[in-house]
Amino acid sequence: MMWVEKYRPKSVEEMVGNEKVRISLISWLRKWQKGSKAALLVGPPGIGKTTLARLLAKMERYNMVELNASDTRTRETLSRKIGEATRSESLVAQRTLIFLDEIDGITGRADYGAVEFVKEAVRQSMNPILMAANDEESDQVRKLGEVCQVFKLRPPPPREIVMYLKHILEEEGLEIGDERLSEIAVVCRGDIRYAINMLQAGLSESKERSITTQESITLFLSSKDESEAMDALSMYPGQPRDKVREIFSSIVRSRVRGEKRGRMLRCISDADILLGRINATGNWRLLRHLDKILAGCMIRELRGEKIAYTRESIPWELQVRIWNRSKRLKEVYGLLAGMLRTSSSQFVSGFLPYISVMLESGEFAEKISSITGVGTEELDLLKEFGQI
């Protein structure tokens, strides 16, 4: 059984960190009356916003109407989903708590009056409304501020995470060194679910297993069968999204080409889609399928290949931008290299660092753009890429 499910908090008191915020939220709900402000939980993914909302409803004996706002973006849809709950008082003992998760997911053109509907609903609702958002700097959080009492959840400090992991180990009758527990507490960056998954993945009943990210990925890339690949992936000490990125970086920097490379990248894409679904739904039970997808799909392609572990020095976000525009960038490299009578590779290694500095000058950038037809977006990317 996955420990993240086995040790999921069963009460508000069992949650890790943010004790003062939890107490204040309980007070808000107990004092709520028609016309009171809504509550808005703000904090990074994995910190326990949804869990806190569900446990709060259970604790105070509320029936909870739950809705993911990022999937319900228009005024009409929101009205259809929660309109009745905002207008009706329960005739039975159990009251209703309306929970709108990922309220910062209502963005841009998809808004269509949704934010204004929520503000109106807060003012008129016969039942308390609790919302959650990942980004406290988002436009939605700012717009809803006038009708909400904001509760900011912060990642629990490593010492509290270590204490909780020790509690789990005691329940399981297992032991692990304090140094390893501290490493997990730091790497998980306040995400309790990741910490528990890392702890379970790094232990067996008979011995402690400690391994670096490079060793884990290297073992995976050289695995002879699916079982060996699964073992290597299970020992990865970092977060799942970083595991997928490290495998991706090693594949794209390898000499594997053609259809085999394409099949490998499709395997990684499937794993990435699963992670996206987990983040969107909060269904962390799906995480147990991640290693199965990577190992089962890629082991056939890895046989006979000698792929070395390669960590990209370029930040991930910039990698994505570069890969998404790689065709256009190669054209730009070729164009500028031709003007300088050199090869594309020599342009990137010898000229680009200097040109990126010169592009800081708006006048130079305009001149390059007018001569070559290269757009502002490509020039900005060249400038950023050249300064790495």
Give the tens place of pLDDT for each residue, 279-298: 778 777 788 889 989 988 88
Encode pLDDT of 3-19 as tens digits.
878 888 899 998 988 99
Nearest to 267 by CA among 239, 310, 302: 302
Give dist(CA 71, CA 107) in Å, integer.
11
Cα–Cα distance list, 348 to 310, 317, 329, 364, 369 (Å): 20, 20, 11, 19, 18
Contact 40, 149 (CB under 8 A): yes
- The overall longest dimension of the chain from CA atoms, in Å, is 82
Encode pLDDT of 186-208 as tens digits.
877 787 877 887 788 766 433 34
pLDDT score, position 188: 77
Indicate whether 155 pLDDT > 80.
Answer: yes
Nearest to 126 by CA among 86, 156, 99, 154: 86
**Span between the terminal Cα atoms of the chain, in Å:** 44
Share of the chain above pLDDT 90, in %: 17
Q: Is the pTM of this model over 0.75?
A: no
Mean pLDDT of all residues in 82-90: 70
pLDDT score, position 70: 62
| CA 316 and chain centroid, separation | 13
Contacts of residue 19, defined as CB under 8 A and 6 or more positions apart, other chains included, come to: none
